[in-house]
Amino acid sequence: MALQKYPSLFLDRDGTLIKDVGYISNPGRVVFYTCTFDALKEAQQFFRLFIITNQPGIAKGIVTLDEAITVNTYIQSVFADKGITIESIYMCPHAKEDKCHCRKPKTYFVDQAVAYYNLDVQHSFVIGDHPSDILLAKNAGMQGIYVLTGHGKKHKKEIDNCVIVKKNLQYAVDYILKRVQL
């Protein structure tokens, strides 16, 4: 008997779930978008939720690994307090020039999550405010949804016209839930 596979949402952190305020080294600087909690509560009824975040401030010495982990732990605990389960937060600590194996748009973290959680890639999505999020979705065989929060407006010209673009996370989740056969 085959194990059930689960659809998932891979979410960018800064600029998608929380305001992009630069390199965040302490939880006191975390500001959630007002729509984040309601959107994720709706989404988790049908999807497993994951965060994949590039944090080049670690490689640049602006943020320590411990500080970044503390921020991620805080974010995950706030979600848990709101009844939202983030299965895992994956974080690339490298700078773009490091050409590492885990930085988005590479599928390293998606591949780990798919193997560990038995995910259904065909019915999964990536939501983010950077072209690397859309490329991650494409590289992993998922659909990407681009949001105009964070750096979304700035980089919109860098994505293909066929990419689905939504105002924010809530609009992206609404779009998914209205169109996906679950």
- Known catalytic membership, residue 12: yes
Catalytic-role residue among 12, 120, 133, 174: 12
- Known catalytic membership, residue 81: no
Dihedral over alpha carbons 182, 72, 159, 46 (to 10 degrees): 10
Q: Among 58, 42, 81, which residue's Cα sits nearest to residue 169?
A: 42
DSSP 28: G
Say if strands 48-54 and 8-11 run parallel, antiparallel, or are unpaired: parallel
Which run of H or of E encompasses 165? strand 164-166
Q: Cα–Cα distance between 123 and 149 in angstroms, integer?
A: 24
Annotated catalytic sites, by residue?
12, 14
